[in-house]
Structure 1
Amino acid sequence: MISPNPFGDFRKACEKALEKSFAKLLPHVSLEHHMLDAPPNPEFGELSSAACFELSKKTEGVKPRKLAEDIVRAIDVESFHLIDRVKVAGVGYVNFYSNFTELSKTTIDSVRALGETYGSVKTDKPQKIIVEHTSANPISPIHIGQGRNPILGDALARILEARGHTVFRHFYVDDVGRQTAVAAYGYT
């Protein structure tokens, strides 16, 4: 399978696994998002969900740990080739471990097939973004701190454009203040 974002595919598989188990166990309860994040320790897998804490509030006193155990039992790991195993941790976290062999194979095959375009992942929701940078003092010599900002600002704008966002660059000249007034007064 070729993909510009294999780890994104793993994340989507984890989301789908959670959705299916929620639909099986709690069809009457809705959850806006699954709260998948990287756990603080790699021993807890590649992704972790804290959804059981939010679900616990909606299920009238069912403990998060009990919900997590039920959810893990309801997930059919065999139907997701990128998921190796799912475990309960702590007081109610659901931890997902990737099938490292399959994820590595997909990643290497994708890099070979896609070449330079590998990793160029477009956003699902393009936005209009303003990147404001470079506020250099016009009457003093530019120094490394002021020279760094245009490079970082423009690089960030280009990365956002590559992701599919509409980017507007704003550059402001720092022309307000006593030194500018003195320079203008001295010029006249």
Structure 2
Amino acid sequence: MASKARVQREKEKAAEKKAEEEAKDAGTPSTKKRAQRTTSNVFSLFSQSQIQEFKEAFTMIDQNRDGFIDVEDLKDMYASLGRDPSRSDLEEMLKEVHGQLNFTAFLTTFGEKLHGTDPEGTIMDAFKMFDGENVGYLEEEYFKDLLMNVGDQYNQSEINQTWKELPLEGGRIDYVKFTKILKGSNTEDVA
């Protein structure tokens, strides 16, 4: 299976090289260079530390260390989480990226997802609905109760994962900082 993917990548590289040569002969910019220009903007969406975190996550998922996340990598990752999705589900996940995902595409996908979430103001307004005193904080236990009992209900594992990123201060959650974390904004800008 891995050798088929490798052969496919080699064919794609050869086709790209041929297209570049043809484009050079025709005096037009190559499609590869155009693709690089459009995807390179994704690096400006994130700080260097965020890019490094994404790279670490990508490396953890890329189990066979070939520089691409494919169905087998996803299968291994899900197995490590105690899950066993069907092959068709895994293939569906990768459909948008034509079956494989390199780091730039991985970063682009996350950039689109992060910037495709609700605007910061909308998230902030949602938190304010539960902040009766309008102080910018929610009590930890109250927020946990909301997550477990309202809307898309979180289980204990999801609560624990969320709490790893939560800006807790004296049993209270600073939802202004939390919104910045959710949106990938710089929390240092928050007074």
TM-score category (smaller protein): under 0.3
TM-score for both structures, normalised by structure 2: 0.25
Structure with a larger share of its residues in strand = 1
Q: Which has the larger radius of gyration?
A: 1
TM-score for both structures, normalised by structure 1: 0.25
Structure with a larger share of its residues in helix = 2
Higher RCO by CA contacts (8 Å cutoff, separation 6 or greater)? 1
